[in-house]
Structure 1
């Protein structure tokens, strides 16, 4: 192998160079010439290990994969389809046995018959060693002298540092913005920096300046500059200038003469700084630590006085003597504030989230797997009651129950955040769970999908409904793993538990599914809107009619898509995991086209609960007596997830209530303080706080504006809490514009409605939905009628667009738009990927 031979030659050359360096070092440290045999006796083991290290490193890193494969093949290894890691391990193992270079023989040949050469090598090495020792001795004297600088000298240097830092802080507070880090990692300004907010310089040093220090595009990471990064170079520069000037002048002429003789050049201040660089850095670190202890108010006062060594020394001495007392006073003030804050936190939040005592209500728990008739049984009981309330996790399910009861001759009204439909004479209401009010009494209340009590953002709505329901009977529908938590919450109340098992067994197919194997009654599941459209288009091209379901689809459109499937107008469904929540359809087989999903933070494997929730939709008694489940890969792993027991729900989510806001307003009047206290509040054991992340981000957009000033706090929080898609920038802008109109008492701006594409229609639907949320919250029901009608028209248009677009939809590269095959694994084409990697390599090589 030519490449391995070349590597071997280069390794030998590198070894010889290293050995020559080792010989010079070895000989230079001896007062008398040691024999070659003595050197070999002392260093042979080192030489052997040196060769092995050089040889292995060069061979592993310089030999190509092709040559490694050929090398191993010659030695009888099977290398077809071998992974790179194993290939490298086998190659390293084999080249350890490759004939080594006999370095001892080379040395003996070089010096044994040439004693004068050995003698000359020694004399040169010894002379160089002595010269280096003189240099080291001289440099040690310099560093010792620098380290012995008196405390008084160090203090004088610090006075200059202190003054220039004070000037810099004065500039910073004169015009710098204050930045906070958003949950997405980006910074946003929240006003101006105020010196009153900072006691010591250390408090300021952790604040962001707003400037970017470093961007890691590969890992999407941004590092931002802090004020410490601004002050530290200033302290270093002042230390260097002042200390070097002072120290350079203290050195005597003898030292300069010795330095010139040894280095054959004059000593400069820069050369001196290089000699004592470590000591200067240590001094800078000590000054920085002292600076962090400085009181910001003292430094700002100092900046007003011209620098005078004697005056500033006196001011510094007074500041140091008074500092401890001020720190103690500050600590006492903080402790007192913390005690007061703890009492306030306890008063506001402490009593709110304890499970209530037993109540005179009959709770009926319907516990079981998906598609077992739980909701049907509970609704039958609600329909028999004189009045009833159904609480759904989704607007679609609320609509479905609303239609079902009215079709069955039971007048039922609808109430969600975006719409209210009052049916004359109705004593029954179908509602989303967030709309629950404890004030009204009902004969029967049905709470669906109760396991969602564990959801970190929405779970409190289920907690509130379960524990504050005002009814004769409350039917709670949940998964098996939620039973323990629900029973614990209901305490000593009268509880009846009804368990449900699937009557149609699930059967997992043994072979990986391929799209060409699609059959009538299949539901194909993936985890993005784009993948749903791509799959539906591929099926249409193969002669199938497909219904589609995904999360951002208007509920009315989803309802039409479902009815097409039920009525046989379409033969298959392509859906996201939205299919797993409360939709009972005549599905023969659930097919998982993907085993992973992006959860908003990262791409991860599906959980056992998610697999079961979705797979449970397969099979419909009387139509398909066996529900089938198929996967495209990892069948063994997915089958295990489908069969395993879920972990019990251990916690429930808590969120702010009206009572909490009422208590809060005894102490404060602004939402900024409320969010700060919510962050500090430690929720009771067995609970976790709602993050309120979206509410906080919206509030930061209008904090300190007329919206914040004019609207009552609880009313403002209600607008922050509106359930709309806060990831859509257009909706965020619409929300802000509408909030301005609300604050100014003006007519609400109309939402933007466009319809040139499916995406625009869906966004228009959401925009009208947000407008309706405002109208209903402001009590403008008459005005809402027009917008509900328009939203229905948009929903119809979405339905038509879906049916039309899917016939021509093609999978395209996200960057250049090139058409891609349906089963192409990546979102960008190979050409765009190669171009991106080339740009990245150029960026990282700079």
Structure 2
């Protein structure tokens, strides 16, 4: 034997001996009669030889290191330098097969052939051990089958006597619940409350805690299990077949004890506990807690249980019938609702057929003279009406026509100025009456047709006007929508382009870049006042324009700019609607606006509408546009083509209200039906949010009871600032006075500051709305003079310079720019951050 493998050889020998002796034991234990040693060798000789080979290969190939294998192969004359490990292992395994083998049979002969009695003793020992194991296995299998039989009978009994178990557990649980409810002092009604609702709905609504609900549920599941495990095993002992007890005693040599029964019945009782708990969830609490007063008698409780089931089924049938009636009633209600909606709204909002009217569509960009051309046509007619989007524009045309010798009356919601012998009118679009006839009707800013809140006023004016000619003024993106609306009517289209080019400045605008003739545009009153205040501190003379400013004040502010008293205008986007001023440059201080729902980037049309006010022929032959930020992106909006507008707005009409009154005079129902009404394709529905807000204030009050539906809706539809809480209160007080037959309260007037003056102006405006609606024009003239005085005071304050609270650093008090986004200056911010960093570093060192 090679010296390198000598140690492995001895280990292989010992392993082979052990394996052969194991094989002998397995051979002998299955023989009922003792076989001879020679018989074993004949039958197993080939396998014995294989045993050695397996032991040898395992001892060497698996345990010898790669170095030992290399040394062995080298000693055999192999050159294995550079040979891969896999090939070395293969060569080594082949070579060691040729090594001298251990003669296992010779070794066995020395043990058993010569010493026959050793073979006999080996057989007896192995055979006895085998039979003992077999007997234990048979006994275990017998006991296992007995336990399975026990479990089967237990499950059968529990199923057969389920109702008995259920009734007893029902009694115990009901008694427990009654005691708990009495201790807790629960006063909530238990009628129609199920055990399930008591556990889940009541607890969850009381605590809003799902984990707590789970704990409560587990509590009662454990309680039911405890009841069953307490009496179940003893009950089973009295009901199991007697032969099972005999078999158990015979198999185990002792009686079947309660402890064994508990062990065997654990899973069946646990399953039974779950089933009973699930069935109890459907029980009514009143049925359960009453059981505490009824001692348990199986037949008595079975009778009570059956009565409870019958009563529950009766209630279920009643409930089903009730639900069916409700379903049928709901279906009838929906059908009636559908019929009402069709009858009330019907074809009211379908575009009108072709009409014998000449329509002239003036389409163009801002500041291109399209409104001028339409007004010239109206001036030349015997009668005419101009419909404006803003009171200020209505005022402007009213003044213009009268100055040019064309008598013109003014009518907005808050004022009426009647000029003797006037056949022309300048009105806000909401004042249009479809029954009046004019030779020429001019409808300005008709792209507002798509506005969801006000657009219906334009729709009504365009489709209901009675005239020889109707001039419609709009932007390019509204052209296709208006043509679709006019259908087959005779329409002439005139397009207008700017003569004065717009030039976008690429550098960022800063406030100290402000020059004469600039109009600075932002999108809130506060921003207008702050910007104007900062410019005034820099000795600039500023005019201001914003939406809530009185039209008279706005006109005076514009006039100051026209007269050269001021050199700069600071305005909201109200400047984009028809205000023709000699503006050199439009400056956008913001690129976003709040649209009532969210802050969003300006659209291309909005940028064009405002930027188009820059330039004035003969004064500024180029209109300039500048931006406070992102001039490249905003400049592209000026160049891109606008997306065409789609969907004109609809709102309730007088006809709709008249049809509704056939069914009800409750406006709450009307608003409900309006929300349910599926609008025609291509339209937008006004949300009536302001009307609903006001209606909530008087719903169900004497005001609603005494006013007709048409009158009430008219008061809801008054055009005033409903976002001002004090104005809403005044509106309600005036209505209450009207229905009580009392004098309507005077407007609230305060003059301590600019905001109070503006609110007082709005308060008088609301008062005037009521006076004109009630036909009290003479009294209205007095309040118009008061309002004009308020307007003058507002103008004086703006003219003398406004004081807006300075924006300062909250840490050091240093002045900050008004457009600065933060309340800390840069120095204080970095100092604070530095201190925080140093503190954190110190804290880490301590740790």
Sort the TM-score into its range (normalised by shorter chain): 0.5 to 0.7
Quote the residue 1:214 is aligned against. Answer: none
Q: 1:548 offset after TM fit, Å?
A: 0.6
**What's 1:568 paired with?**
564
- The 1:700/1:334 distance shift into structure 2, 3 A limit, reads same
Is 1:316 matched with 2:294? no
Instruction: Please tell me whether the aligned partners of residues 584 and 614 of structure 2 are also in contact (alpha carbons under 8 angstroms).
Output: yes
From the superposition, tell whether residues 461 and 234 of structure 1 become closer, same or farther in structure 2 (CA, over 3 Å): farther
| Residue number in structure 2 paired with 1:523 | 519
2:644 aligns with 648
> Could you tell me whether the CA contact under 8 Å between 1:366 and 1:477 is conserved in 2?
yes
Aligned mate of 1:541, from 529, 537, 540: 537
CA distance, structure 2, for counterparts of residue 801 and residue 228 of structure 1? 58
Q: 1:404 deviation in Å? A: 0.6
TM-superposed deviation, 1:426? 0.4
Question: Given the alignment, which residue of 226, 234, 243 partners 1:248?
Answer: 226
Partner of 1:339: 335
Name the counterpart of 1:272.
Answer: none
Tell me the equivalent position of 2:395.
399
Alignment CA distance shift 1:693-1:158 (3 Å): farther
Residues 236 and 629 (structure 1 numbering): CA distance in 2 closer, same or farther, change over 3 Å? same
1:364 offset after TM fit, Å? 0.2
Is the partner of 1:251 in helix, strand or coil?
Answer: helix
After the TM superposition, list the runs of 4 or more consecutive aligned residues in structure 1 that deviate by more than 6 angstroms.
148-164, 167-173, 225-238, 302-306, 813-819, 830-834
Which string of whole-angstrom CA distances, capped at 9 and with x for unpartnered residues, describes residues 512-553 of structure 1?
Answer: 111111111100111111111111122122221110111111
Q: Does 1:376 align with 2:372?
A: yes
Aligned to 2:806: 811
- How far residue 826 of structure 1 moved from its aligned partner, in angstroms, is 2.6
Distance 1:226 1:252 in 2: 31
Aligned to 2:356: 360
Matched residues in 2 for 1:798 and 1:815: separation?
31
CA distance in 2: counterparts of 1:423 and 1:457, whole angstroms: 32
**Are residues 1:431 and 2:409 paired?**
no
Within 2, Cα distance between the matches of 1:664 and 1:227?
Answer: 42
Give yes or no for contact 1:813–1:827 (8 Å, CA) kept in 2: no
Q: Does structure 2 conserve the Cα–Cα contact (< 8 Å) formed by 1:820 and 1:829?
A: no
Tell me which residue corresponds to 1:717. 713
Distance apart, 1:246 and its partner CA? 2.5
Distance in structure 2 (CA, Å) of the matches to 1:474 and 1:616: 25
Residue 711 to residue 419, structure 1, CA distance change in 2 (3 Å): same
Q: CA deviation at 1:327?
A: 2.9
- Counterpart CA distance in 1 for 2:358 and 2:530 is 49
CA 1:824–1:454: 2 relative to 1, 3 Å: closer
Structure 2's unaligned 5+ residue stretches are 1-150, 234-269, 292-303, 834-847
Q: CA RMSD in A?
A: 4.2
**Alignment partner, residue 800 of structure 1:** 796
Secondary structure of residue in 2 paired with 1:386: coil
1:822 corresponding residue in structure 2: 817
The answer for the alignment partner of 2:674 in structure 1 is 678
TM-score (norm 2): 0.66
Q: Is the 8 A contact 1:537 1:809 kept in 2?
A: yes
SS in 1 for 2:456: helix
1:698 equivalent in structure 2: 694
Shift of 1:661: 0.7
Partner of 2:495: helix, strand, or coil? strand
Contact 1:387 1:427 in 2 (8 A): yes
Give the C-alpha shift of residue 739 in structure 1.
1.5
In the superposition, relative to structure 1, how do residues 684 and 642 fare at CA in structure 2: closer, same or farther (>3 Å)? same
Q: Per the alignment, in what secondary structure is the counterpart of residue 633 of structure 1?
A: coil
Alpha-carbon distance between aligned partners in 1 of 2:753 and 2:812, rounded to the nearest angstrom: 17
In the aligned structure 2, how far is the partner of 1:458 from the partner of 1:672? 21
Q: Taking structure 1 as reference, are residues 339 and 623 closer, same or farther at Cα in structure 2, changes over 3 Å only?
A: same
1: CA distance between counterparts of 2:187 and 2:488? 62
Q: Using a 3 Å threshold, how does the CA distance of structure 1 residues 819 and 628 change in structure 2: closer, same or farther? A: same
Of 468, 481, 484, 1:485 maps to: 481
- Determine the structure 2 residue equivalent to 1:609: 605
Secondary structure of the structure 1 residue equivalent to 2:385:
strand
Change (3 A) 1:498 1:804: same
Of 600-609 and 553-562, the range deviating more from structure 2: 600-609
Closer/same/farther in 2, CA of residues 818 and 362 from structure 1, 3 Å limit = farther
Distance verdict in 2 for CA 1:226–1:490, change over 3 Å: farther
Q: How far, CA to CA, are the matches of 2:536 and 2:381 in structure 1? A: 46
Q: Indicate how the Cα distance of structure 1 residues 375 and 318 shifts in structure 2: closer, same or farther if over 3 A, else same.
A: same
Q: Quote the Cα distance in structure 2 between the aligned partners of 1:775 and 1:431.
A: 18
| In 1: Cα distance, 2:174 partner to 2:451 partner | 55
Partner of 1:471: 467
Structure 1 position 250, deviation (Å): 2.4
| Cα displacement string for residues 116-160 of structure 1 (whole angstroms, at most 9, x for unaligned residues) | xxxxxxxxxxxxxxxxxxxxxxxxx9xx9xxx9989689998999
Q: TM-score, normalised by structure 1?
A: 0.66
Question: Is contact 1:588–1:619 with CA below 8 Å preserved after alignment?
Answer: yes
Q: What is the match of residue 584 of structure 1?
A: 580
Counterparts of residues 14-25 of structure 1 (less than 5 Å) = none
Please report how far the alpha carbon of residue 325 of structure 1 lies from its aligned counterpart in structure 2 after TM superposition: 3.7
Match of 1:752?
748
C-alpha spacing 1:833/1:790, structure 2 compared with 1 (3 Å): farther
Match among 440, 455, 458 for residue 459 of structure 1: 455
Larger Rg: 2
- Correspondence for 1:761 among 757, 768, 772: 757
How far the C-alpha of 1:824 sits from its partner, in A, is: 4.5
* Residues 541 and 654 (structure 1), Cα distance of their counterparts in 2 relative to 1, 3 Å cut: same
Matched, 1:410 2:406: yes
State how many pairs are aligned: 609
Cα drift, residue 355 of structure 1:
0.4
Counterparts in 2 of 1:312 and 1:657: CA distance versus 1, 3 Å:
farther
Task: Name whichever of 672-681 and 821-830 sits farther off.
Answer: 821-830
SS in 2 for 1:431: strand
**CA distance change for structure 1 residues 623 and 790 in 2, over 3 Å: closer, same or farther?**
same
Pairs within 5 Å for 1:140-539 = 239=217, 242-252=220-230, 310=305, 313-539=309-535
